[in-house]
Amino acid sequence: EGRLNSVANATQLQSAGRFHFGRPGEGLLSTTMVDKIIPIFDMSIGILLIIGLLTPLAAWAAALFLISVILSQMPGFPGTQPTYFQAVECLALITLATTDAGRYAGLDFFPWAWWQNKKATRLRGAKAPA
């Protein structure tokens, strides 16, 4: 950038200004921005899974992320890394997402129990004779 701008003389720099290069194909969602977002995403999903809050949603989000990692490292191409570990973690996360994980030993227990009590009360009220 500096060497290309040094080709212009003073008059050209005054009339057109300095030329600033951007990375090719870099828009609003640049690789720099993605590199900042992914650790935040990983940390927030990990915290949600550890405390058991929104467990199915967090497990599906993590599984979809790992599926994208697995698909970006297709086996058989030169230079790709093995993705066996990500595949095992992805299957475990899908298991967490499709079972009642978090409802018995996590914070998901409280909204789930409240919902079940509300539903039971509503059913008891509907069965009461008028």
- pLDDT value at position 25? 67
- pLDDT value at position 41? 96
| Mean pLDDT for back-to-back runs of 10 residues, the chain (130 residues) | 74 80 72 90 96 94 95 82 91 94 84 87 73
Judge whether 62 and 45 are in contact, CB under 8 Å. yes
- pLDDT value at position 119? 86
- Indicate the pTM of the whole model: 0.70
* Cα 94 from Cα 65, distance rounded (Å): 12
CB atoms within 10 A of CB 64: 14
Task: Tell the residue number behind the tokens 């969602």, with chain if given.
Answer: 29
- pLDDT value at position 76? 77
- pLDDT value at position 14? 84
Q: Where are the domains of the chain?
A: 28-127
